[in-house]
Structure 1
Amino acid sequence: MEDLLGLDVVQGSRLALANSVENGLPVSALDRLAAEVSPGDAGFKFRLIPKATLERRRKAAKKLLSREESDRLARVAKVFAMAENVFGSAENARDFLTRPHMMLDNKLPLDVALATGPGADAVSNILGRAAYGGAV
């Protein structure tokens, strides 16, 4: 997950990641994640952070996202990393995340994960079931 965000975090240290999110992830983390999750879709970033807000962040001296924006970004990175692990490739992960899923009321898993923390948990639950041979 840290690799998706371009972070130099001690492997396996969720506290270090939590601290990075709390202090604000760099704008470059958004660029990196967008390139992995939705390559070729220039508008994907704006589903995470409004365009005007992102432009302000890019112009700021520190070029950091807010805590809330960073949390949303980390949430999507976690779901994408889990999907990539379960399905074996970034391409298969993108395929899963961008197809309606019956266990999510036929919503796209990516949309559900983007919307709220509990939505991301629901997608993670489906991925956990898939990883261990459950019905999905």
Structure 2
Amino acid sequence: MLAIGNIADVLGLPPKGTAARSPFGLMTSIENGLPMIALERVARLLAPGDAQFKYRLVPKATYERRKRGALKLSSDEGMRVARVARVWNLALDVWQTEDEARDFLFRVHPMLEDRRPIDVVIQNEIGAELVLEILAGLKYGSAA
């Protein structure tokens, strides 16, 4: 189940009772352009010691243009940030601490052909689904 409220929290969206807390509200927020602060927040949560991490989600030149102009992410950029927030949310639920969730996301994993989960998540939606399946298997158990 998609925990929209938790994803909205990770993205730093308005509190409970607002439209962004519903599935379609979150979709609309992404389509209309997530605020740049959502990118900053996700980057800080996932890689607090890496000031360059946000540029993996939005290229540096684009980031600089957005900071000077619209202050909103494009729909594609917002979807990428929301995808990372969704995976972070489940990793945190499974591992219970931010450090352990980060360790999982930034360490190569044999079920991902020795790629790091975070790299696979950033790459595309299919990669995110693979990582979510691994996390769900850890959380709920999986058939051997």
Answer yes or no: same fold by TM over 0.5.
yes
Aligned to 2:23: 14
Structure 2 CA distance for aligned equivalents of residues 89 and 134 of structure 1: 22
Percent of aligned positions that are identical? 46
Structure 2, unmatched stretches of 5+, are 1-6
- 1:68-101 Cα distance to aligned partner (Å, 9 max, x none): 0000000000001110011111111101001111
Structure 1 CA distance for aligned equivalents of residues 143 and 53 of structure 2: 30
Aligned to 2:66: 57
Aligned to 1:82: 90
Q: Match for 2:77 among 66, 69, 74?
A: 69
Q: How many residues align?
A: 135
Give the conservation status (yes or no) of the 8 Å contact 1:9–1:17.
no
- 1:3-44 Cα distance to aligned partner (Å, 9 max, x none): 111101546512111111111100111111110000010110
TM-score after normalising by structure 1: 0.94
Structure 1, unmatched stretches of 5+, are none
Give the conservation status (yes or no) of the 8 Å contact 1:24–1:70.
yes
Aligned to 2:38: 29
Structure 1 CA distance for aligned equivalents of residues 58 and 113 of structure 2: 25
For the aligned residues, what is the CA RMSD? 1.5
TM-score after normalising by structure 2: 0.89
